[in-house]
A and B are shown apart, each in its own frame.
Chain A
Amino acid sequence: MAQPAGAAVVIIGGGVTGLSSGWWLARSGVDVLVLDKGIVGWEASGRNGGGATHVYSPFGLEEQRLWPQMDELLGYPTEHQPYRIGIALTDTQLALARRSAEIGESRGFRWELLDRQQLKELVPIAGDNAIGGTFLHFGGHANPQRTVQAYAWALQDHGGRILQHTTVTGLTVRGGRVTEVETTGGSIGAETVIVAAGPQTGLFAEMLGVSLPLAPARVEMIATEPLPLLRHGGVAGNGLYGRQTLRGNLIYGGGPHEWINVPDMATPEHPNTPLVRNLSRRLAELLPGAAHLRVIRSWGGVVENTPDGLPVIERLASPDNVVLATMSSVGFGLSPAVGKAISELVLHRRCLFADLSAIALGRFADTPPDWRERAGWIAAGPSAVATTGASRWPSIPARWPIRYRSPTVTRPWSWWERARRA
């Protein structure tokens, strides 16, 4: 596509949040342009577990209402499937699963506690190591890769435009408003700007003199060869998130995630680590009947978190034509509702269906600049990678004993302590 001169709404970031926002706006007849530094949905939006069960969120009810309609609304397949099954191998895991179910119950949804026998009837590959589980008559999951492309295509079908392989390098502010978005392909005029740039959202906030505390992290998932379809694919537990896809593959993630730095607009790398072995073990424990399945692939992605793990969806006071959006690492499932909320912030200056006060940016007003250090959410020290051909590495014996731990850092500051005490 040729570089356009401008659009009513320019969206920075063709991830699931930006695309959904653009789709809702385009549906309302708004002239939208989505900019992405690479291919739409290429980063965390298209690489996640596909869960769509977030009833603890202000967007949760709308998420539950919209998902069953998404295939039809978009005109493209999302592979959305209803229901979730939680498997518990320990009392602690059962308590966590129950807690999630009860949050759903508090919002009007039904769930059942399963004993081992009931669980194994629903999930024959669960094992005798399971002590029980939960069946949620709500929630679900979808295919992230297909869904992000569906948003992008549907947005175009409504007249919206997408400009890929275009990196945004700056924002021009005139008279208290962002008037132009500067890109590697030139300047693009905008009446309203939505920043939904994942881990790089904070860099854009900084350009506008706004502090948006974000800590990026690299996360990993594995996929097995296909297995005949379970009655319900939305099965998880044992510290794993994931699902069985409609093709039959088991795809799961979880575990310790590495905090990293994303210093500029370049796409961060997301390789895998030996964590794939630990993921394999957790999955074989979760579903012992599938322990013989072959792992055919793994992948990684980069997500960002705010200090309390909650989103920031905010129309700024100044410049007053900018919406900042980060879902704090939990964006895919909520995307139908969040895109709608953002479109309302653009069109009506407020969200018409949910109270967003709990996720207002103002909650971080007293967050110190060194919050990542205090939380222990910092990237490990300088990389050990040698930069020349000379040996800089200590000699490591074959089958070495490996041990590595970062220093433990406490995280005492007000909002965190409040959350923990209560």
Chain B
Amino acid sequence: MVVVGAGAAGVAAAVAAAQRGAQVLLVDEHPVDNDMMAMDVPLYFGQRVQPSVRNRALMMERVVETNPGLGEAYEAGVDVQLGTYVWGAFVNGPTVRELPGPMLGLADDRRSWLVGYDRLIIAAGARDVVLGFPGWERAGAMGAGGAHALLARYRALASKRMVILGSGHLALATAALALEHGVEVAGIVEVGQVLRADIAAVPALRGVPVFTSHTVKEARGKIGEVESVVLVRVGANLEPVASTEPEIVCDSVCLAVGLVPSVELLHLVRARLAFVSARGGWVPQLSDAMETSTPGVFAAGDCTGVLESMLSDPSAAREQGRIAGRAAAESLNGHEAPPLPRASGQVDGPGVHVYWEQWLRSLVAAGGWEVNACQCEEVTRRELVEVKPPRYLKWDSPQMNARSLDTMLRDGPVNQDQIKRLTRAGMGPCQGRRCREQVGLLLAQAAGTSLDRIPLPSFRPPLRPLPLNVLWPADEPAAMREHWVGWFGIPTQFSPHWEAGMAIAEPTAQTPLILSDE
């Protein structure tokens, strides 16, 4: 059995399964290497990392030290592999029948390998919701998930003064954590008229400046750095109102507006997903035993839905993990999992997308349409909704100028993957990890629809950007090399069609995927 993710849910699942006799492999990507962090993968680290993250041994120590659950798992006989990326999941289906069984693609900094599983528990957590403003490309713009990891796991956040956007549990917990680690919180900014969580319940936050009915106008600084953030007051319609524009000196702006369940792996194993706004978007449909629609694959923790209550208390995630681990182990032992009470913390509250949309509307009103929606490919909000081809093509034609999202809507509903192909928004090295939600929200808003009506943009392996010479198989079987064909190896296919018998001698493609010499 493989458990992906060593957070509260993953550790609980691994321990519960091991206690029932299962042979368990628990993998977690932390500590991720410095290059991956620099790409804001898997979390929005915002370039604010101390040089100590280059010290792998030290980071490994910290990740172990700050996660007592890992020791517990080790004691329970779980094979714990840290610093290990899960970059793919491969299962047979209607059009893939050649795999000997379901398997995961794993990798560390130097090599990749495949591992088979009988049962899989996905506890992949959540990633940051990122909404842009002028200057969000600067080092120092980051997400709450990235900030939490750098503060609590790596102890390597390179920030002294932080402004936090958002005011729910996530934002207040981030503020408290920052203060605890000696980072000054220069302000908590909320676009709404009231704070979303009770700040009085967090005594540490007494005296922290709070800006309600404000949004970000701009993050300023020398080239490439956040040195201050300019706020602007907004009216009930979220448009900026004429008044003073406070400029707050800070070296980081932390987006703590929300989290999105990490469903990449769930998507790859063909688990059925549904859009539940109260849980942060697309989440797996689960049985009472936390089993997905793909038999043998279970899920637990934030990747099954991010709930406010779970942010403040990991016990709900732990309980989900225990249920999943127990059910997975029981099914391996050939037992039907006994009926279990539904994990607590499962009551859906109001949707979160309305709130994210409020933020985005205010940011667009204050920052304009020339702000990048996609950083990797430098696609602005305007270029996105006007469906412009990338600037480097230097294309200009009356036909192209007459096309826009509006003209495309005449031919069919908006599809984020289609817009991506045309504008390149979400097509860069981070593969939309930073822009997926804001691109979706911008498109939904421009198309007069809502995010749940836009099909889930696709996830493909590798789920982590790995170098060719890491992803490659060092032990590629000789047979795979021998029988390799460029296309189908049909002798007549690339020979002059009018000259019989000019076949190019190349082996024919009936070679299956050969994964091992043994």
Contact = CB atoms under 8 A, between A and B. Distances in A.
Contacts of B90: 271-274
A158 to B, nearest CB: 11
Contacts of B331: 389-391
B350 to A, nearest CB: 32
Interface in B293-317: 295-296
A402 B516 contact: yes
A226 B400 CA distance: 25
A239 interface: yes
Given A149-B422, A396-B117, A284 B469 contact: yes
| A154, A246, A284, most chain B CB atoms within 10 A | A284
A305 B512 contact: no
B399 A258 contact: no
A106 interface: yes
Given A273-B513, A406-B512, A268 B422 contact: no
Interface in B389-444: 389-390, 392-393, 395, 397-400, 403, 410-413, 415, 418, 421-422, 424, 428-429, 431
A254 B99 CA distance: 18
Contact of A269 (B93, B117, B488): B93
Contact of A39 (B418, B483, B488, B504): B418
B103 interface: yes
Interface string A242-267: 00001100000011111110000000
Interface in B74-113: 79, 88, 90-103, 105, 112-113
A37 B101 CA distance: 32
B383 to A, nearest CB: 14
A317 interface: no
Contacts of B502: 422
Contacts of B509: 217, 256-257
Contacts of A70: none
A375 to B, nearest CB: 8
Contacts of A377: 510
B498 A58 contact: yes
Contacts of B503: 419-420, 422
A419 B397 contact: no
B501 A421 contact: yes
Contacts of B490: 305, 308-309
B195 to A, nearest CB: 39
Given A256-B513, A380-B97, A281 B88 contact: no
Nearest to B102: A393
Interface stretch (A25-33, A73-81, A203-211, A344-352): A73-81
A110 interface: no
B467 A256 contact: no
Given A274-B90, A404-B515, A379 B472 contact: no
B82 to A, nearest CB: 16
Contact of A58 (B112, B334, B497, B515): B497
Interface string B1-32: 01000000000000000000001010000000
Nearest to A359: B497
| A255, A271, A377, A419, most chain B CB atoms within 10 A | A271
Contact of A376 (B114, B334, B424, B510): B510
B485 A396 contact: no
Contacts of A387: 295
A382 interface: yes
Nearest to B483: A256
Contact of B510 (A278, A282, A397, A409): A409
Interface string B355-368: 00000000000000
Contacts of B103: 274, 402
A302 interface: yes
A239 B486 contact: yes
A365 interface: no
B72 interface: no
B431 A297 contact: yes
Contact of B485 (A100, A149, A256, A274): A256
Contacts of A389: 291, 295-296, 331, 336
Interface string A278-297: 10111110000011111111
B512 A405 contact: yes
Contacts of A309: 488, 490, 492-494
Interface of A: 1, 39-40, 42, 46, 56-58, 74-77, 79, 96, 99-100, 103, 106, 145-146, 149, 153-154, 157, 162, 164-165, 217-218, 224-226, 239-241, 246-247, 254-260, 268-278, 280-284, 290-299, 302, 305, 308-310, 328-330, 355, 357-359, 375-377, 379-391, 393-406, 408-409, 411, 418-422
Given A292-B467, A385-B92, 11 more contacts: A56-B495, A256-B514, A270-B95, A274-B88, A274-B105, A277-B105, A380-B98, A386-B296, A403-B100, A403-B517, A422-B500
13 contacts: A56-B495, A154-B399, A165-B413, A225-B428, A258-B512, A291-B468, A308-B490, A329-B488, A384-B97, A385-B92, A402-B518, A404-B512, A420-B491
